[in-house]
Structure 1
Amino acid sequence: MSLFPGVALVTGAASGIGRATAVAFAAEGCTKIAICDRAADGLAETKRLIEGKQGDDGRKVEVEVVAGDVSREESVTNMVQTIVKRWGRIDYAVNCAGIQGPPKRSTEFELEEFDAINRVNYRGLWMCSRAELKQMMKQEPLQTHDGRPGNRGVIVHIASQLGIVSRTNAAAYCASKAAVISLTKSDAIDYSNDRIQVNCVCPGLVQTPMVQGPEQQKLFAPAVAIAPMDRMGEPEEIADACLFLCSSKATFVQGAALVVDGGYTIN
């Protein structure tokens, strides 16, 4: 049987890691995939790519497109309600929505800039996780590929290597991602008895729209050089880590911050 017989939800799915994760679910046999983002055009392209993965084994992939802003509570509520109305449950939730913010020191930040980063990266992610947890607590455990005890659901947050270490001119972003790691560990403790897994992935620099362009490439070149692998990662490499954590081959992984950064944090 497929490693992913349940329902997948991916936020931030209009581009980058979110898009790669949604497409990877389809490629690995998940047939019920919900994608959420505030960029409607990007979601349409992600849906097209997901549907392009159909046909290899005759399966039909169903896609639910939910345009929404994770920084707004009513939008998050609508997202979960829409998915549950269609499929009755959410089994794998990968929370990818995030923003970087301007490269500034703390004394140079305006309050509005700081709040904008945290409304999405931390507060918005927490609202998504809260809504996902509430739904998962109502569900019966999903069957596994080999008969081992299953879980009611799995949540994977996208944090960052910069939640573990820091760099210059990124205080607000680094702090928001450190908060995601801490939230992951706390919720992993609190919801283990409910048979819900909560983990996070900490990517290094990845070839996404967030780091593309001449100015961004120049800004991040020194960080790329620090990593022993001396390159940026590909979104698909992060998606693979997310899918492992969502799969029933990772049923004993709880509260982990899986670093996927080409060795940046060990150098």
Structure 2
Amino acid sequence: MFPGVAVITGAGGTGIGAATAKAFAAAGCERIAITDLNEDSLQQTADAIKSTHPNTRVLSKAGNVADDHFADSLIEEVVSTFGRVDYAVNCAGVLGKPFRSAETSLEEFDRVNSINYRGCWLSSRAELRQMASQEGLPSHDPSRPSQKGSVVNVASQLGIVSRPGAPAYCGSKSAVIGLTRADAIDYSRDNIRVNCVCPGVIETPLVMEKPEVRAAILPAVETAPMKRMGQPAEVADAILFLCSTQASFVQGHAMVVDGGYVTV
């Protein structure tokens, strides 16, 4: 289902990035590159993939997506190892501290935006540059054109509706949605699709390991019609759909995966 090479940022631990990397392997992608700031958690993801899918080749490279040289070096290594980049999923992100704008420091604002927005832009820029330079994979369905690549950025439901005490985070995720739409327009002529997902409250370490974060987001769980947290694998399923040929006419879309929260 997924011939070619997948690159996933923020793939360490047990969050959305790790679930996405595992989902690609389960769907038949046999060349996967993963990155995360935490080398130990990144190795956990690599080991999990190799234990269940021994034929899958995994390139693991720890680094900071906010570093303006890292994204380029990562893609260079991926191409050197695997020859190309076909699917890119930019998951790396952090939460902000629960302050209003007047209480938010410049350092905190820059920290959140450097990873969530700048890091996404740097990663997607390197991925798009490579995709535009390569030949597309042949299409096995004559009714669907071949594509040179597919990029999926991970934004948030809070990039659409916002919530109290999160100006830096909400702004950074709105920026990811805007970036996605602009790149979708610019790279359509290169046969590259660019979309994003907007997860709601997902049961990840970012949420579960911080009591103050759980307290801030629990009202959103109760407000959403489905009244539960989502699972990382549920977001990964949406990401794989957007990367797949089944979404061959989906371009510049911000797919909300939030149990219905933004519809209330």
Distance in 2 between residues matched to 1:240 and 1:253, nearest whole Å: 15
Q: Which runs of 4+ in 1 moved over 6 A?
A: none
**1:202 aligned onto 2:198:** yes
User: What is the aligned partner in structure 1 of residue 240 from structure 2?
Assistant: 243
How far the C-alpha of 1:218 sits from its partner, in A, is 2.1
Measured against aligned partners, the alpha-carbon deviations of 1:159-210 in whole angstroms (never above 9, x if no partner) come to 0000000100001100000000011111100110010000000000000011
Counterpart for residue 43 of structure 1: 42
The answer for the alignment partner of 2:27 in structure 1 is 28
User: How far is 1:145 from its partner?
Assistant: 4.2
1:60-209 equivalence runs, <5 A: 60-147=55-142, 148-209=144-205
Hey, what's the Cα distance between the residues in 1 that align with 2:116 and 2:25? Answer: 26
The normalised TM-score by structure 2 is: 0.97
Deviations 1:28-58 (A, max 9, x none): 1000000011100001100011112216xxx
What SS class does the counterpart of residue 231 from structure 1 fall into? coil
Of 4, 11, 17 in structure 2, the residue corresponding to residue 13 of structure 1 is 11
User: What RMSD, in angstroms, separates the aligned Cα atoms of the two structures?
Assistant: 1.0
Residue 228 of structure 1 corresponds to which residue in structure 2? 225
Q: CA deviation at 1:217?
A: 2.2
Deviation at 1:220, TM superposition (A): 1.5
CA offset digits 1:222-253 (Å, max 9, x no partner): 11001000000000000000000111111110
Q: Residue 226 of structure 2 aligns to which amino acid in structure 1?
A: M
Instruction: Map 1:243-262 to 2 at 5 A.
Output: 243-262=240-259
Displacement of 1:4 in angstroms is 0.4
User: What secondary structure does 1:135 align onto?
Assistant: helix
| Counterpart residue identity of residue 44, structure 1 | Q
Percent identity (aligned): 56
Q: Quick one: distance in 1 between partners of 2:195 and 2:37? A: 24
The answer to whether the 8 A contact 1:9-1:94 is kept is yes
**Normalised TM-score (structure 1):** 0.96
Question: Which residue matches 2:2?
Answer: 4
